[in-house]
Structure 1
Amino acid sequence: MARRVQLALGGQAALFVSSRHPVEGAQTFGRLRAAVQENFARYDALVFIMAAGIAVRSIAPHLVSKLQDPAVVVLDEQGRHVISLLSGHVGGANDLTRELAASLGAEPVITTATDVEGIVAPDALATALGLFPEPPEAIRTVNSALLRGEHLSYYVDPSCALRGFYREALVRRGIPVGEETKMQRDAGLQAIISPTFRENRPGRLFLRPMELRAGVGCRRGVSQDEILEALREASARIGMPLRAICSLSSTAFKRGERGLHEAAAALGIPLAFYENGQLQAVIRRYNLEESDFVRKTIGIGNVCEAAALAAGGGRMALGKTRFERVTVALVWQNKEQ
């Protein structure tokens, strides 16, 4: 899963770097605490290469909740250990820790109780499937019960547009799916995938489908089929079907591209275009990487990521990905944002 990642190096911070020392082209900051304050809510993940205690003191004033905080991962300066420090499940820090450790040949350090016990936690599963767990207090209740050996029943509400996909995804992971007729009668622990069902009670956790928004950049004259194929491949890269995409967006510079209009119509989803000023504000807010070539061509240096985020932010599911004549970025957005 692609993430907007901030990497902090000792007393400095740099974007998308993997070296202990600052490198050419990296964005640096004079003070670590100031850098964290500026960027804590801007990125999906922050990676610190330093003592864990320094990282803890730097992020402490900015913590909100496990449903909102970014993933925070800490590496020692020799690259021997990668520590999942914050937001292991919903933020994806545990998965990022495993990815970094595998790349570096390091030891992943994950202390989340369910992971240590080899239990599939519903909030971790939610992150993998583009679901948002609520209410927050139910996460701890359900995970604590799982650690005590209690059984958790999964249900998929028939009102889910991707009902078949969710059921198959659970079964592939070895998780039985209960019959919908028992959903309201079951008195045990429940995890319910539903966009609308809200009959809350102790031991019931809701997993809400988030909206998958696609930002698209394209060459002049690109066809509907090329755009749809790029979107299909992009969604497949995050393990989702094409029909999961709920909106398309691009720069107003591409408003006349017939292929974009036809692709949105074929999918039955809205298509939005944003002016350069709107996209530039998003680029600044999220510190998105810009292309000089794109800037010279249309006046801004990032189209697909900025357009995907322009509808209201969210969590990057797939960063800018190039296909033959199309670029795509995907963003998960909680419907309540």
Structure 2
Amino acid sequence: MKLAAITFSPQGLLVCQQLQNKIPELQLYLHDALDFCEGAQSFTRVMELTPTIFSKYHGLIYVAPCGVVVRSLAGSIVSKLTDPAVVVVDVGARHVVSLLSGHEGGANDLAIRVANIIDAEPVISTTTEAVKDLIIGVGCRRGKAAVDIVAAIQKVMEQQALSLARVRYLATADVKADELGLLQAARILNIPLRIIAGETIRQCPQKFTSSEFVAGKVNLPAVAEPAALLAGRRTSLIVQKQALNGITVAVAQENCLSLA
């Protein structure tokens, strides 16, 4: 995807630079009141900038207030089938909102990608995604094949009579962010992969089963269970970690608010 990031605050610039470290091709657009950054383009008013770049990129990442972004987009929006993916990040890097073209345009996937990089919470309101309530935490030995990871996940879900259609995310620790088999498994299952920072796992307030083996290998108390718990909101563990030939699988459920 051809991507651009736009901000007009010093705090936003720090977030954009963090993103650019992981996405080198990311084009930065910075308000002209900010210090010059090599390769960045400057602008004076975001209301004037947005129409000029709207059709040039597959995805736009605004590190700015949502209201400002909405107003700047208003005159450019045409169709969810053609508009670029737009996500909004608060300058504190706490949340990444999938704002425009969530499903068809890829903003949901972009929000998760950005959230994984800056250790933020992706906010996705697409109805078909928001009603899913399960998160599968996965840990694995280095080099495990995608087919084995998929088989392990399917086996645990079948044993527990849980449907993969209910799964919102796969989740793992950042030490596994480049694990090819796990990345491929997420694509095969068509389930987004959330990456949880190691420090966040170490500080997890919820109870989970620790492992001396995992601690010795990756300097974490565990992977599958805390990753599943931390990748969602109001979570509880419904399947403790299951070990299958070098792969661990755990399942957490998000306790959605009752409408009754």
Give the shorter-chain TM-score range: 0.3 to 0.5
Larger Rg: 1
Instruction: Output the TM-score relative to the length of structure 1.
Output: 0.36
Q: Normalising by structure 2, report the TM-score.
A: 0.46
